[in-house]
Structure 1
Amino acid sequence: MYATLLALHSLTRWLVLTSLLFAIFWAYRGWLLNKPYLRFDDGLRHITATIAHIQLTLGLSLYFISPIVSYFLHNFSTAVHERAIRFFGMEHITMMLIAITLITIGSAKAKRKSIDKEKFKTMAIWFTIALLIILSSIPWSFSPLISRPNFRPLF
């Protein structure tokens, strides 16, 4: 189960990044070009937040069954000094929770705005900040600090 969840979490990362990048591009386009906020735009906002929440659910499930996190929690005083263990036990989850919270707040605020330009602006700003946090907190394969494969096999 752990390996399957890990693979799904890794795969869903790409859905989150793709939807977030497209939503950000679309929001800046709408904001800077004074486009009307249409049903498509609202759907994009909603779908992007939903994909992020699915990723959150997978990540939290993975967190509670992860042997790395278990080691971190049961050996905190020594594990906190081990970079890779601390990253998954504390840093990754904290930063991702912050990012998902920003996406949720940005989505909710944009939904409640009455002016189209403000809807796009709100989405653009909140989603961009969340994306920067996400990009800095993913264990990329090329990272000199914490490296994990970009794609994991499902089985």
Structure 2
Amino acid sequence: MGTYPVVLFLHSWVRWAVVLLGVLALVRALGGWRGGREWTRGDRRLQVFCVSAFDTQMLLGMVLYSGVSPFTPFSLEGGLRESLSHPTLRFFGLEHPALMLLALVATHVGSAVSQRAEVSVSRHRAWALGLLVAMCLVACAIPWAGLSHGRPLFRGL
């Protein structure tokens, strides 16, 4: 078994950690913001796990994009204009990585701003807003089954 199937399998499954931790952290942050709850050690732990899942997913994606995936040579080889005219190559060669990079940035910015905030409500608000942006981008960038460029929701080796 080559590198591509293993990295693709991991990338496919780590996405669920990103989605689940992102949604859980978003719900908790919105509740803390709205309810005026104190920022707790549990909030920080969940934040670290969520950001770490995003980082791990991006690392796996970068390994795929840097040449392990068969899509990358095709999307780069034929020139940008030709790649952009093919929906699947455009999605995996440009849209997916760009949107996920923006989601990662939003997650890190939300985390950093929340850590600098002095008041718990401000921490929850900054984290919630960063996650809200990130999760919307993630929802747009996942190759959902049923789309022309869709992939299975649960991939096996």
Q: Normalised by the size of structure 2, how large is the TM-score? A: 0.95
SS in 2 for 1:23: helix
Determine which of 35, 39, 64 is the counterpart of 1:33.
Answer: 35
- Out of 128, 133, 138, which is 2:137 matched to? 133
1:41-67 deviations in Å (ceiling 9; x for gaps)? 111111111110000000100111211
Residue of 67, 72, 75 corresponding to 2:70: 67
Does residue 123 in structure 1 map to residue 127 in structure 2?
yes
User: One-letter code of the match for 1:57?
Assistant: L
Select between 107-116 and 70-79 the one with higher mean Cα deviation: 70-79
Distance 1:123 1:29 in 2: 11
1:142 deviates by 2.5
Match of 2:16 in 1: 14
TM-score (norm 1): 0.96
Kindly indicate whether residue 88 of structure 2 is the aligned counterpart of residue 84 of structure 1. yes
> What is the one-letter code of the residue matched to 1:20?
G
Shift of 1:79: 2.0
Moved more, 41-50 or 115-124: 41-50
Structure 2: which 5+ runs fail to align? none
The CA RMSD measured in Å over matched residues stands at: 0.9
Distance in 2 between residues matched to 1:31 and 1:142, nearest whole Å? 36
Q: Percent identity?
A: 29
**For 1:40, what is the secondary structure of its paired residue?**
helix
Counterpart in the other structure of 1:113: 117
**Distance in 2 separating the partners of 1:78 and 1:27:** 43
Structure-2 separation of matches of 1:14 and 1:122: 23
**Structure 1 residue runs of 4+, over 2 Å off?**
none
The amino acid across from 1:92 in the alignment is H
SS at match of 2:112: helix
Deviations 1:1-49 (A, max 9, x none): 1011001000000000000000000001111111111111111111111
Task: Specify the SS of the correspondent of 1:80.
Answer: helix
- Looking at structure 2, the residues matched to 35 and 79 of structure 1 have their Cα atoms a distance apart, in angstroms, of 49
Q: Map residues 37-48 of structure 1 onto 2, 5 A cutoff.
A: 37-48=39-50
Q: How many residues align?
A: 153
How far apart, CA to CA, are the structure 2 residues paired with 1:56 and 1:112? 24
